[in-house]
């Protein structure tokens, strides 16, 4: 049986923000700090470059139990034998992704409006909901939902939801009360001088009972 995906602190990579440290080293540090899932995202990379980057991340994640999810690029996810894929509303069908990746893969889908919940295929395991707050890492994103919009989607969704978009430590505290299964972050970890410490700070906010 496939274990449930721990969405509590979901890292989405950003090659530019990782800078000279590099994506793989950033991921390794963030996982030490408490990241529970990693999504490989680089819309500007060609398939060969993205596959090489994915391999380097997989090497860092080996024996950690933290899964690697590929954003959008089904061909790359298949080539890497990734743990799953995350798709946007205009990407390949989740049903097609499920067919190609198999029954044990994690399939996520982005949702930005409540009415999209009526069209989520059975192949989907969880939803990425957002952007919740204004953000700068995805210029073509929809308008921010706000906490009220997030809470509504979480309440109406039959699937676990991970909140994304403009979430840092202060925002994480507010999101915690929405019922979301976790938060997805980009600049709050990739753009920080110490990704491990940044991740630990988010964990403390999300789970105050955890001593880190």
Residues classed as catalytic: 41, 110, 138
What element of type H or E holds 44? none
Cβ-count burial 136-159 (b if 16+ within 10 Å, e if not): ebbeebeebbebebbbbbbeebee
Question: Residue 174 burial by CB count (10 A; 0-12/13-18/19+): exposed, middle or buried?
Answer: middle
Buried residues in 77-90 as b, exposed as e (16+ CB within 10 A): bbbbebbbbbbbee
Distance separating alpha carbons of residues 174 and 21, to the nearest angstrom: 30
Phi/psi for 61 (5° steps) reads -85, -10
Burial category of 163 from C-beta neighbours within 10 Å (exposed 0-12, middle 13-18, buried 19 and up): buried
**Are the CB atoms for 88 and 67 separated by under 8 Å?**
no
């Amino acid at each position: 049986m496939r274990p449930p995906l721990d969405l509590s602190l979901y890292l989405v990579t950003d090659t530019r923000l990782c800078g000279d440290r590099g994506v793989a080293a950033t991921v390794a540090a963030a996982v030490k700090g408490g990241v529970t899932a990693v999504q490989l995202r680089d819309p500007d990379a060609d398939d060969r470059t993205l596959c090489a980057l994915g391999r380097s991340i997989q090497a860092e994640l080996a024996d950690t139990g933290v899964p690697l999810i590929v954003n959008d690029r089904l061909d790359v996810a298949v080539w890497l034998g990734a743990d799953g894929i995350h798709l946007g509303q205009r990407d390949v069908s989740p049903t097609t992704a499920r067919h190609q990746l198999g029954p044990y893969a994690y399939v996520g889908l982005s949702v930005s409006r409540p009415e999209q919940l009526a069209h989520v295929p059975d192949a989907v395991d969880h939803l990425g909901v957002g952007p919740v707050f204004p953000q700068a890492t995805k210029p073509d994103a929809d308008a921010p939902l706000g906490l009220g919009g997030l809470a509504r989607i979480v309440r109406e969704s039959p699937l676990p939801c991970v909140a994304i978009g403009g979430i840092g430590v202060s925002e994480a505290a507010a999101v915690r009360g929405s019922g979301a299964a976790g938060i997805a972050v980009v600049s709050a970890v990739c753009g920080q001088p110490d990704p491990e410490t940044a991740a630990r700070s988010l964990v403390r906010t999300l789970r105050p009972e955890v001593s880190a």
